[in-house]
Amino acid sequence: MYFYSSGAVEEKWDKSYLPVNSVIASIGTAFGAVLSVAVMIVAAIVLYPRGIKVDSFDQMAEMMRTPFPKWGIALFGISLGITCFGAAMEIALSISYMFGQGLGWNSTTSAPPVKEARFNTVHTAIIFAAAIPLLLGVDPIKVTTISMALTAVTLPLAIVPFLILMNDTDYVYEHTNGILGNTVVVIIMLIAFVIAVVAIPLQFLGGS
């Protein structure tokens, strides 16, 4: 969210970008949802009958080896690399934007790094800091699942201020959310929050 909105600030979007962004947001979210469901279905079809309970990345590669016996492992490795790299870059930039926008620093990716030293120092430091838990031997799958649950638990903290702004005519004029939009956002937020609240104790108790 911070990453996306920082793009809006950096590229100086105006009102004319609203329709195209509605389309991008809808297609992007739908695409992500379809992919997530597809992964769950393939995992259930491939892993469950074999009695495999995933606790490492190489077991996950089995999902790809069944439909693609020859290239499955390579494809899994490539897709894992691309998605991890993309996510790492996005999160590091999101945190840098959060500091930059929040504290009022010069923060764009279009200027030379030396011109925005504080922004780029945070960006660099985050990448190194993120590597520390893995170097200490923390299980990456556990980190991923717990951080996803924590993200969902903290979702109301991130979404409620946006919800207020999205309904404030001083900020968005006539483009405020409708009743349907507000209701859907609140319901999704609550569902994610409740699932995460249940999931976090299960993570620590060793459930899945």
Partner 1 sequence: MSTFRIVRDVLDKKLLDADECVMGRVDSIVLGYPDGRQPRMVRVEIGGPLLAAHLASWLVRPVEWLGRNFGPRRRVNVSVQWSHVKKMGRDLHLDIRADDTEALAWENWLAEHVIGRIPGSGA
117 lies in the binding site for partner 1 (CB under 8 A): yes
What DSSP string describes 132-174? HHHHTT--HHHHHHHHHHHHHHTHHHHHHHHHHHHT-HHHHTT
Contact with partner 1 (CB under 8 A) among 76, 120, 126, 152: 120
| Inter-residue contact 126 to 95 (CB < 8 Å) | yes
116 lies in the binding site for partner 1 (CB under 8 A): yes
Question: What is each CA distance from 3 to 30, 45, 95, 176, in whole angstroms?
Answer: 19, 35, 8, 21
Span of 19-27, 32-40, 61-69, 118-126 interacting with partner 1 by CB under 8 A: 118-126
Applying the rule CB under 8 A, the residues between 13 and 72 that interact with partner 1 are none
121 lies in the binding site for partner 1 (CB under 8 A): yes
Residue carrying the six token digits 């717990």: 146
Span of 27-35, 77-85, 106-114, 184-192 interacting with partner 1 by CB under 8 A: 106-114
Interface residue list for partner 1 (CB under 8 A) = 102-107, 112-118, 120-121, 124
